[in-house]
Amino acid sequence: MTLAETKRRVVPRLTKDRGADNIVRFQYWAEFPQDLGVLVCQCLGPCAVVQLLFAGRRARDLGLREEVWRFFCRARWGRSANLSVYGSAKDLYLDRNGWFPQGGGCRQSPSFEVQRIKLHDSPCLTMDLRITDDEIIAVSEAPRDKVGKQASVQIVDPGTRDLKERFEVSSATINCCDVGADLICLGSDDSKVRVYRRSCGSRTPPVPAALRGPIAAIRLHASSSVPAM
């Protein structure tokens, strides 16, 4: 296609529409491929797409497509987006993932569905949790009434609630945990820090911390993966 032909394609056409003379009718959207229009909407962002809804019927149809708003929900909340709860991804986005639902022009209280999974036999407490888009990591105390049983780490799939992995750690209660890039870091009652690298299945020997008494809180430094207590 030559440059002249390209310029001719983007010139608005003057048509007559049942007695309305010289009405400029832009046919850009009519000639726009649908998959490309969806991609343009995703690049524009949710605020611009809301404004686009008033540009015409074709633009409105594109701006209301489910895949456009599913993209926005996943980009903002990842796997935590409650897409299965809402029939419309656009409504889910406007309700802030269900936390601030709108109804009748007023903000309403959120509605929760409570689901449970049993990780331990009683009496045994879950001491700390870390939740990511891909998994839930829970650490436990050492069972009080079972000789030989150790404090453990459980890794749960947040979508299916299936137990992906479980391993025992020590006879001392695990008080805290944190997760980093392919790492799980644990702090326990025996004043030791344990680091687990999951990609190769390696577990570093427990390192005594320069503290006296239990380790109550631990954080992995984002840039260097060095634990801070």
State mean pLDDT over 200-209: 58
pLDDT in tens, 156-200: 988 788 888 888 888 888 999 998 877 888 988 888 888 888 766
Of 184, 120, 122, 193, nearest to 152 (Cα)?
120
Work out the percent of the chain whose per-residue pLDDT is above 90.
Answer: 20
What pLDDT is attached to residue 70?
A: 95
Q: What backbone phi and psi angles, to 5 degrees, belong to 74?
A: -70, -35
What pTM does this model have?
0.58
Least confident among 44-48, 76-80, 109-113, 197-201? 197-201
Q: Can 3-101 and 126-228 be said to share one CATH topology?
A: no
Q: Which residues contact 57 (CB under 8 A, 6 or more apart)?
A: none
Cα Rg of the chain, angstroms? 27
Domain definitions of the chain by residue range: 3-101, 126-228
What pLDDT is attached to residue 138?
A: 92
What pLDDT is attached to residue 199?
A: 66
CA dihedral 12, 16, 19, 25 (to 10 degrees): -30
What pLDDT is attached to residue 207?
A: 57
Single-letter amino acid code for the residue at 184: I
pLDDT at 10 over 60: no
CB atoms within 10 A of CB 131: 13
Least confident among 29-33, 116-120, 200-204? 200-204
> Are 41 and 62 a contacting pair, CB within 8 Å?
yes
CB atoms within 10 A of CB 165: 12
SS3 of 194, please? Answer: strand
CA dihedral 60, 63, 64, 69 (to 10 degrees): -170
State mean pLDDT over 64-92: 91
pLDDT in tens, 17-73: 544 443 444 455 567 788 888 999 999 999 999 998 998 888 899 899 999 999 999
What pLDDT is attached to residue 41?
A: 92
- Specify whether domain 3-101 bears CATH 1.20.1280: yes
Give the bridge partners for 157, in sequence order. Answer: none
What pLDDT is attached to residue 72?
A: 96
- Specify whether domain 126-228 bears CATH 1.20.58.1690: no
